[in-house]
């Protein structure tokens, strides 16, 4: 009997060790699944596309410039070849679409969207001036869509709110330069009491700041 009881106890202990091992392995497997899921969700949430103006950090463009922006899709969509379209760019794994508003009102303008073959996650959005453009504040909306994922980017910018006109293309020494400066508000209307400051870059010399004589 004692020998039989000893074998029974050993067998029971072995079974219990097997259960504990099974529970341990199962727990580790579940923990790995949870960690992988959390990592995927975190990366999906934290990966954000971005938009930034080109050549003008303050996003204030003169009336001689075509407002141009860089869009980084952060891997949401990619293009391995050079593509170009107006308004909407179709890609193999999604699309990029745009909308332009002037002080909250949508206008009929189709920005040019092009891919960068050297950086397959980077795109350029360029707004070509047309008869719809007038001085004031604009907002560019870029929507990036891939499958069930979508991100919308917005970029405010002004165009033509500061105009600079010279009466000559070049001046002789001690010659007076008549410079016309016009300041407009977000609606494109003249700001009569605007204060301006003129900065001149002189060759082989330091920059000089001048407060001009203002005549309205």
- Structure confidence by residue, pLDDT tens digits, 138-154: 999 999 999 888 999 99
Question: pLDDT tens across 166-210, in order?
Answer: 888 888 888 888 888 878 877 778 888 877 777 776 666 555 555
CATH number for the segment(s) 50-159 = 2.60.40
Question: pLDDT tens across 64-91, in order?
Answer: 889 999 999 998 999 988 999 999 999 9
Confidence of residue 1 (pLDDT cuts 50, 70, 90): very low
As a whole number of angstroms, the longest Cα–Cα distance in the chain is 124
Mean pLDDT within 112-130: 89
Of the candidates 153, 107, 114, 156, the one whose C-alpha atom is nearest the C-alpha of residue 130 is 107
pTM of the full predicted structure? 0.64
Q: How far from chain centre, in Å, is Cα 148?
A: 20
| CB atoms near residue 127 (< 10 Å) | 23
Locate the domains of the chain by residue range: 1-46, 50-159, 161-216
Q: How far from chain centre, in Å, is Cα 17?
A: 57
């Amino acid at each position: 009997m004692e020998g039989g009881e000893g074998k029974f106890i050993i067998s029971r202990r072995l079974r219990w060790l097997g259960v504990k091992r099974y529970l341990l392995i199962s727990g580790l497997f579940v923990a790995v699944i949870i960690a992988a899921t959390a990592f995927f969700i975190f990366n999906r949430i934290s990966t954000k596309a971005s938009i930034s103006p080109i050549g003008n950090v303050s996003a204030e463009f003169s009336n001689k410039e075509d407002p141009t922006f860089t869009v980084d899709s952060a891997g949401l969509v990619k293009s391995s070849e050079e593509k170009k379209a107006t308004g909407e760019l179709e890609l193999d794994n999604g699309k990029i679409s745009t909308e332009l508003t002037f002080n909250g009102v949508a206008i009929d303008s189709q920005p040019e969207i092009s891919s960068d073959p050297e950086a397959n996650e980077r795109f350029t959005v360029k707004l070509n001036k047309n008869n719809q453009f007038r001085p004031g504040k604009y907002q560019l909306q870029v929507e990036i869509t891939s499958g069930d994922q979508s991100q919308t980017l917005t970029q405010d910018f002004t165009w033509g709110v500061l105009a600079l006109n010279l009466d000559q293309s070049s001046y002789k020494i001690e010659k007076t330069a008549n410079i016309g400066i016009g300041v407009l508000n977000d609606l494109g209307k003249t700001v009569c009491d605007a204060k301006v400051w003129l900065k001149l870059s002189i060759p082989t010399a330091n920059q000089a700041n001048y407060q001009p004589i203002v005549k309205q």
